[in-house]
């Protein structure tokens, strides 16, 4: 819960963990090769491109949340996904919302849906109070395994915690322990000894199937306990955003967390760690950050996708940590000019290679352009980062289709494990 600040134009990217009584806190690459999106000239088969790794740090803030902003990471790394099995009870299904009543108006049905949706989902959300060296921090979380007592929240909500206390929807409360954290994905798991009978585990959705324009609700504790279990409604505003999720260290620039969901559902300091639900009552993300010049909601909020939770949380429960994949490269987006004179992305440009790192050992070189991984097209930095985070794991070999000196070739690259930064 340590505040960090980075410039991002006129706006601020703010991790929304609330601490009320304590201080906390493309470059283009000229090239002719690969295949492009839509209007770009045809290129040899199997190409794709891109990947990004902006670097920056995120942290909770005093009272209104911290003010870190994203700073593009010239640094490396795609992260990978783990296939650790989820503990029993972690992926529970929940009944779908009731069908509309005959003759009921759309507006009335929408209101009924929201009332019923809140009734079913709010008891799964918790208020979290954390004591750290600087004072008291506050945030949100949600139950993922009732039998095991596991609750998911943001790393920045419990970072540096000396004591953690959880309060449920029925106002009962209990102390909790931090099971483990993953700073790069900003995911943490805490555990309690008992969960009320009236508090069910959430149902997980599939964030890969989320659509822009889809209605969503956020439930959490904006500005702390006084406003606990507040629900706000909105839509999915955009997909595939990246959030800074690391910091400068001896390993070089930080990393970026890909595939982030953007929403206009009102979220504020204290909502950190709370769930973003679809209209079926399934969690599709963890509310994590806002972009705002004032430190409060301005209609641009960000949620870590739930599919990342499905990978990270079981590993944290089993091993206390999560191993992200790592290449040891700096990445930019390679572009070319199509027949209409438009500049279009064609791949992920390897702008730099860390000596002795996984990419270096596998034969990747500076100025290589990655256009596909395991046959999956890559068009830009973000594509590469998102693919590896979701589909690769440390020690796994992937086939990268690259352009080197305007010639296409396939290269076997063995992914390493991302160095832990904190």
Q: Is 186 a catalytic residue?
A: yes
Q: Is 296 a catalytic residue?
A: no
What does DSSP assign to residue 150? E
Q: Helices in 155-273 by DSSP H: which ranges? A: 155-158
Return the bridge partners of 162, or none: none
Question: CB under 8 Å to 20, separation ≥6 — which residues?
Answer: 63, 136, 137, 138, 223, 224, 270
| 408 close to 402: Cβ distance less than 8 angstroms | yes
In angstroms, the CA 382 to CA 241 distance is: 8
Secondary structure (3-state) at 113: helix
Secondary structure (3-state) at 157: helix
| 76 close to 326: Cβ distance less than 8 angstroms | yes
Catalytic choice (81, 140, 272, 362): 272
What does DSSP assign to residue 15? E
Residue 404 CB neighbour total at 10 angstroms: 16
In angstroms, the CA 256 to CA 120 distance is: 34
In angstroms, the CA 357 to CA 167 distance is: 45
Question: CB under 8 Å to 400, separation ≥6 — which residues?
Answer: 364, 370, 372, 373, 410, 411, 412, 413
Catalytic choice (186, 264, 332, 380): 186
Q: 216 φ, ψ to 5°?
A: -145, 160
In angstroms, the CA 379 to CA 37 distance is: 7
Q: What are the DSSP E strand ranges found in 77-202?
A: 125-132, 135-145, 150-153, 163-167, 173-182, 187-192
Catalytic choice (156, 237, 242, 362): 156
| 118 close to 219: Cβ distance less than 8 angstroms | yes
Q: Is 272 a catalytic residue?
A: yes
Diameter of the chain by CA atoms?
Answer: 68
Q: Which residues are catalytic?
A: 156, 186, 272
């Amino acid at each position: 819960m340590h505040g960090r600040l980075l410039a991002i134009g006129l706006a601020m990217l703010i991790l929304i963990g609330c601490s009320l009584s304590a201080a906390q806190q493309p470059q283009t690459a000229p090239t002719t090769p690969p295949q492009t999106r839509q209007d770009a000239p045809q290129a040899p088969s199997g190409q794709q491109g891109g990947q990004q790794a902006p670097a920056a740090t995120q942290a909770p803030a005093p009272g209104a949340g911290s003010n870190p902003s994203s700073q593009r990471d010239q640094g490396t790394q795609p992260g990978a996904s783990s296939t650790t099995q989820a503990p029993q009870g972690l992926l529970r299904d929940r009944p779908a919302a009731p069908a509309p009543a005959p003759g009921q108006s759309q507006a009335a049905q929408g209101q009924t849906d929201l009332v019923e949706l809140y009734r079913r989902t709010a008891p799964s959300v918790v208020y979290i109070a954390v004591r750290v060296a600087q004072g008291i921090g506050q945030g949100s979380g949600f139950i993922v395994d009732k039998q095991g007592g596991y609750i998911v929240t943001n790393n920045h909500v419990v970072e540096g915690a000396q004591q953690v206390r959880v309060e449920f929807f029925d106002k009962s409360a209990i102390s909790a322990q931090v099971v483990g954290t993953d700073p790069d994905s900003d995911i943490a798991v805490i555990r309690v000894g008992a969960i009320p009978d009236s508090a069910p585990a959430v149902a997980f959705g599939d964030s890969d199937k989320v659509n822009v324009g889809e209605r969503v609700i956020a439930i959490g504790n904006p500005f702390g306990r006084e406003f606990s279990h507040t629900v706000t409604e909105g839509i999915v505003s955009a997909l595939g955003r990246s959030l800074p999720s690391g910091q400068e260290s001896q390993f070089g620039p930080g990393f970026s967390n890909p595939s982030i969901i953007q929403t206009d559902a009102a979220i504020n300091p204290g909502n950190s760690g709370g769930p973003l639900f679809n209209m079926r009552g399934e969690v599709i993300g963890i509310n994590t950050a806002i972009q705002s010049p004032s430190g409060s909601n301005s209609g641009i909020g960000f949620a870590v996708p739930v599919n990342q939770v499905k990978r990270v949380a079981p590993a944290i429960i089993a091993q206390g940590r999560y191993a992200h994949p790592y290449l040891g490269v700096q990445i930019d987006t390679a572009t070319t000019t199509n027949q209409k004179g438009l500049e279009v992305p064609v791949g992920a440009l390897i702008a730099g290679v860390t000596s002795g790192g996984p990419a270096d050992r596998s034969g990747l070189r500076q100025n290589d352009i990655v256009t596909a991984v395991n046959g999956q097209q890559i068009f830009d930095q973000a594509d590469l980062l998102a693919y590896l985070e979701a589909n690769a794991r440390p020690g796994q070999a992937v086939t990268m289709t690259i352009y080197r000196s305007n010639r296409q070739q396939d290269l076997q690259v063995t992914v390493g494990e991302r160095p832990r930064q904190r």
